[in-house]
Amino acid sequence: MTRWIKDNSLTLVLMLMFAASLVGQWLTGWRVAVEDLQRHGQAAIGPLIYLSDPMFISTVFENWESEFLQMAVYVVLTAFLIQRGSSESKDPDAPERDRLPSRNSKAPRFARVGGALGWLYAHSLGIALGLLFVASFLLHWTFSAKAAAQEAAEHGRVGVSALAYLGDPQLWFESFQNWQSEFLSTAALVVLSIVLRQKSSPESKPVAASHGQTGA
């Protein structure tokens, strides 16, 4: 058990941080919602009821959407584009890493086949991240539309349909405010890793590596 925890410690710690942050968002968001209801003379809701609030669900997937977009774009772009000197870029002077189908008997089964299955496996990481982005965007969009319709009804107005809400500036404001920060942070990591180091991290070049060395 101790060996298993050590072998999976990075994922375990990240998932614990994710769970703690999600619980924190839930409880603080609930308190904000309760205070808003009280200001409008309405009855407070419990924390479990808040879990089904369209605005809460929308904000969760709004953030997931931007993260999966960032990772999908990053994985795909680094397959084609380079940044010389960055640990986050492949070395343009190195030989092609992947020769498919692989003849290595220890390679995953789908890496040893050609055709459509081999192509799908060779691009499966980017595809999976792209699909997670699409799913998160769809959930952000639909629940944001429900939240907007709910707010309109509270003010005696008629809300728009989910399809019509796809053209609402609010939806795209919510998306773009997250997308721009994700792309900026990724670009910062790519550029800063040229001259800065983090000892023992696979995301950094060795501390003694030259600034011109490309790739970790």
**pLDDT band at 114; cut points 50, 70, 90:** confident
* Contact predicate 190/88, CB 8 Å: yes
Radius of gyration, alpha carbons of the chain:
23
Q: Is residue 186's pLDDT more than 90?
A: yes
Q: Percent of the chain at pLDDT above 90? A: 71
Residue 177 CB-half CA count within 13 A: 9
Indicate the average pLDDT of the chain: 92
User: What's the pTM?
Assistant: 0.91
Domain boundaries, the chain: 1-52, 54-216
Checking if the pLDDT of 215 tops 90, the result is: no
- Mean of pLDDT values over 121-140: 96
CA dist., res. 86 & res. 94, Å (int): 14
43's tokens: 């009855």
Question: Are 121 and 112 in contact, with CB atoms under 8 Å apart?
Answer: no
With a cut of 90, say whether residue 12 has pLDDT above it. yes
Q: What whole-number distance in Å separates Cα of residue 127 and Cα of residue 121?
A: 9
In sequence order, which residues have a C-beta less than 8 Å from that of residue 139 and are 6 or more positions away?
Answer: 57, 58, 61
Q: What is the pLDDT of residue 78?
A: 95
The confidence band for 102, taking pLDDT boundaries of 50, 70 and 90, is confident
Q: Which long-range contacts (CB under 8 A, 24 or more apart) does 5-12 make?
A: none
The residue-averaged pLDDT of 50-68 equals 96
